[in-house]
Amino acid sequence: MKCDSIMADSRARTILLVEDEEIEVELIRRIFKDDSLEWEIFNVSSLKEALKWLGENKSPSLIIADYFLPDGSGLDLLKEVMGREKREITPLIIMTKHSTEQLVVRSLKSGAVDYVVKSLKELQNLPWTAKRALLEWKQAVKLKQAEEEAKGYMKELEIAKLDLADFAHTVSHDLRVPLRSVQAFTTLILEDYGDTLDERVREYLEKVREAGERMSALIKDILTLSRVGREFIEVETVGLNKLLEEVKKDLKAIIEERGGEVVVEELPTISTQRVWMKELFMNLIDNGLKFNRSGKPTVELSYEEREREKRKGEGKEKEYLFKIRDNGIGIEEEYQSRIFNLSERLHSQEYEGTGVGLNICRKIIDKLGGNIWVESKTGKGSTFFFTIPER
Ligand code: ADP
């Protein structure tokens, strides 16, 4: 082990030596005096004195304590040192005349950084052991600090995410009310005064109404997005074929308008959050019909059960893999991962939409503990896949 960083610091290191045998104290003092680093040694001879010294002085760089003290053991001191928050950053080395494996294990388990036997050879090595202990301690403290900091950041991030979701929720809610007025009055003007209006004015008002509709759709999507993960939704037993019947009913207008078809194979009954599952299927099927120039836009839904490695821990678990295949326009390879990002739209001119749908899907799938991806060839249709673990 290199001790460069300890050597580089030229300040004297202070050691509290808790040892009652004078000869040994003298020997240790001499050994440290001959070392290349400057050490300052304070000696006390009992547990009581050690605690008093620690109470009255600044923390030493290191404590070296005899295991057998007249009024206790070095491990008792260790407990005290570890127990006081202030002293938590002081490393402690235990010394004994004889070493037994049990003693070594007990010392290290209690939190001693090292353990030395009081033989001349080991004592001569004490400065080196001390430097190594200091270095290891410094690294451990740094690691602990970094961990604490990281924990702090994670917490802040979680709070920020929650705040943001709350904010999005409130703002979208509040935006809806004035927007409704804008839409209502535009419709009123168009309906009641349409005939008397100049052609141009009517055209402009139509544009206001369309923009209002787009904004309303966007607000609705942002509200949904802010609800995912923010609200607790109960898990229930959901027959997916029945759920898909509902989805088809909700999409009836677009299916009929396009002369399209949604083909659903036999699906399982699963335990899941119904609302989110419906949202998922709605978005994916709607997209399959929408981004489609075929004479008969068709979306096929199938599934299979398979095994996957458990995310946490050993072993395997079952998961459902759903496939939603369409005969639509397809997606260029370079955009295939980007479409799951917020507001990423490839065909914004030709097709209506807000660019939020797939982001909602990804967030839902994250919450359910699965994955979502797409395979597609331009002009040859797309297949969206998602998995969810079996509960
Ligand atoms: P929106 O449908 O509101 O545009 P989405 O988040 O649902 O937003 O989709 C993002 C983009 O991904 C779409 O604008 C479209 O370009 C592309 N996309 C999504 N689904 C399909 C699909 N089935 N076929 C082709 N392109 C798709």
Q: Which of 283, 287, 343, 365 to mutate to test the pocket of ligand 1 (most atoms within 8 A of CB)?
A: 287
Q: Which of 283, 291, 362 to mutate to test the pocket of ligand 1 (most atoms within 8 A of CB)?
A: 291
pLDDT surpassing 60 at residue 149: yes
Residue 221 CB less than 6 A away from ligand 1: no
Lowest mean pLDDT among 6-10, 18-22, 76-80, 377-381: 6-10
pLDDT surpassing 70 at residue 214: yes
Residue 91 CB less than 6 A away from ligand 1: no
Q: What is the DSSP letter of 374?
A: E
Give the Å distance between the CA of 353 and the centre of ligand 1.
Answer: 8
**CATH topology for the 236-389 domain:** Heat Shock Protein 90 (3.30.565)
Instruction: Dig out the tokens for 366 from the structure.
Output: 């994250």
Residues 6+ positions from 363 with CB-CB distance below 8 Å: 225, 228, 229
Residue pointed to by tokens 């068709």: 298
Minimum CA distance residue for ligand 1 atom 2: 353
Question: 348-375, pLDDT tens digit by residue?
Answer: 667 777 788 899 899 999 988 899 999 9
Atom of ligand 1 nearest to the CA of 360: 6
Q: What percent of the chain has pLDDT over 70?
A: 92
Q: Which of 286, 345, 374, 377 to mutate to test the pocket of ligand 1 (most atoms within 8 A of CB)?
A: 345
pTM flag (> 0.75): no
pLDDT surpassing 50 at residue 162: yes
Minimum CA distance residue for ligand 1 atom 13: 345
Residue 289 CB less than 6 A away from ligand 1: no
Amino acid (1-letter code) at residue 57: N
> What does the alpha-carbon distance between residue 230 and residue 163 come to, in Å, rounded to a whole number?
10
Residue 243 CB less than 6 A away from ligand 1: no
**CATH topology for the 12-121 domain:** Rossmann fold (3.40.50)
Atom of ligand 1 nearest to the CA of 288: 23
> What does the alpha-carbon distance between residue 64 and residue 24 come to, in Å, rounded to a whole number?
12
Residue 224 CB less than 6 A away from ligand 1: no
Lowest mean pLDDT among 82-91, 308-317, 346-355: 82-91
Of residues 266 and 152, more confidence is placed in 266
Give the Å distance between the CA of 287 and the centre of ligand 1.
Answer: 6
β-pairing, 382-389 vs 372-376, is antiparallel
Amino acid (1-letter code) at residue 172: S
pLDDT surpassing 60 at residue 290: yes
> What does the alpha-carbon distance between residue 344 and residue 366 come to, in Å, rounded to a whole number?
19
